[in-house]
C-alpha cells in the first residue's frame, strides 16, 4: 500500500511539473507572438496579454502545491539548524499545518468566488458542455473559469501538506527524520 501511495505521489508531482512547464511555455509563446504582432505587423491580438497573465496565474498556483510537497516554501532553515531535531520537527510541522489551513481557506473562499464571480472576458472564446456535447462559444468566456485555479490549488496544497506531515512523522518515528532541506522526496 505504501508503494502505491508513493507511486501516486510521484505521478501527481510529475503531472503538476508538466503542467507548470506547459504553462511557462505558453506564457513565453503568447508574449513572443503578441510582441511580434504588435511591433512587426502592427496588429496585436486582443487576447495575447490576457492569456499570458492567466497562464502566469495558473502556473504560480500549481507551483504552490509543488513547493509545499517538496518543502521548498519559505522556511526557517537557519533556526531549524540551531534547534534540537525534535523541536525543529514540531516547528516545521506547525508551519505545514498553517499551510494546510491556508489550503482550506483557498478551497472554501475559492469555491465561493467561483460561484459568485460575474463578468466575462469579451476577447476570449471557450468551449462549454451543452445538450450532452461540447459546444464552441465564440466570445465572452466567464471570468469564473480563470479563478477556478484557487480552489483547485487549495485542494492540492492540502493534500501536499498532509503528505508532508505524514511522511515527516513516519520518518521521526523511524528515527530517520532530517531537516526539509536535506530531504529528497523522490
Residue 7 has pLDDT above 80, yes or no: yes
Read off the pLDDT of each residue in 144-154 and give the average, rounded to a whole number. 94
Question: What is the pLDDT confidence band of residue 185, given thresholds at 50, 70 and 90?
Answer: very low
Read off the pLDDT of each residue in 140-168 and give the average, rounded to a whole number. 92
The C-alpha atoms of residue 110 and residue 8 are separated, in whole angstroms, by: 25
DSSP-assigned states of every residue in 29-98 = HHHHHHHHHHHTSS---SSHHHHHHHHHHHHHHHHHHHHHHHT-SS--HHHHHHS-HHHHHHHHHHHHHH
Residue 96 has pLDDT above 70, yes or no: yes
pLDDT at 182: 45
Residue 137 has pLDDT above 80, yes or no: no
C-alpha cell at 4: 502505491
pTM value?
Answer: 0.82
Q: What would the pLDDT profile of 58-82 be if each residue is shown by its tens digit?
A: 999 999 999 999 887 766 677 777 8
Phi-psi category of residue 42: left, alpha or beta, with phi > 0 → left and psi -120 to 50 → alpha = left
| Torsion angles phi and psi, residue 70, rounded to 5 | -85, 0
Residue 22 has pLDDT above 90, yes or no: yes
Residue 107 has pLDDT above 50, yes or no: yes
Question: What is the pLDDT confidence band of residue 1, given thresholds at 50, 70 and 90?
Answer: low
Question: What is the domain partition of the chain in residue ranges?
Answer: 2-182
The C-alpha atoms of residue 168 and residue 130 are separated, in whole angstroms, by: 46
Q: What would the pLDDT profile of 80-89 be if each residue is shown by its tens digit?
A: 778 887 888 8
The C-alpha atoms of residue 100 and residue 161 are separated, in whole angstroms, by: 6
The C-alpha atoms of residue 2 and residue 11 are separated, in whole angstroms, by: 14
Place of cell 476570449: 124
Amino acid at each position: 500500500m505504501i508503494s502505491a501511495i508513493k507511486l501516486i505521489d510521484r505521478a501527481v508531482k510529475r503531472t503538476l511539473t508538466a503542467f507548470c512547464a506547459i504553462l511557462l511555455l505558453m506564457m513565453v509563446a503568447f508574449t513572443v507572438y503578441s510582441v511580434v504582432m504588435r511591433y512587426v505587423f502592427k496588429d496585436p491580438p486582443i487576447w495575447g496579454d490576457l492569456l499570458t497573465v492567466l497562464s502566469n496565474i495558473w502556473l504560480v498556483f500549481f507551483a504552490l502545491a509543488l513547493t509545499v510537497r517538496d518543502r521548498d516554501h519559505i522556511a526557517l532553515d537557519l533556526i531549524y539548524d540551531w534547534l534540537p531535531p525534535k523541536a525543529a520537527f514540531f516547528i516545521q510541522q506547525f508551519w505545514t499545518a498553517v499551510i494546510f489551513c491556508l489550503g482550506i481557506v483557498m478551497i472554501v473562499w475559492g469555491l465561493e468566488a467561483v460561484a459568485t464571480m460575474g463578468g466575462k472576458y469579451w476577447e476570449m472564446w471557450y468551449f462549454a458542455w451543452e445538450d450532452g456535447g461540447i459546444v464552441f462559444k465564440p466570445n465572452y468566456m466567464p471570468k469564473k473559469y480563470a479563478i477556478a485555479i484557487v480552489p483547485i490549488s487549495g485542494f492540492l496544497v492540502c493534500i501536499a501538506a498532509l503528505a508532508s506531515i505524514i511522511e515527516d512523522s513516519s520518518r521521526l518515528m523511524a528515527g530517520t527524520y532530517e531537516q526539509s532541506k536535506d530531504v529528497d522526496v523522490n
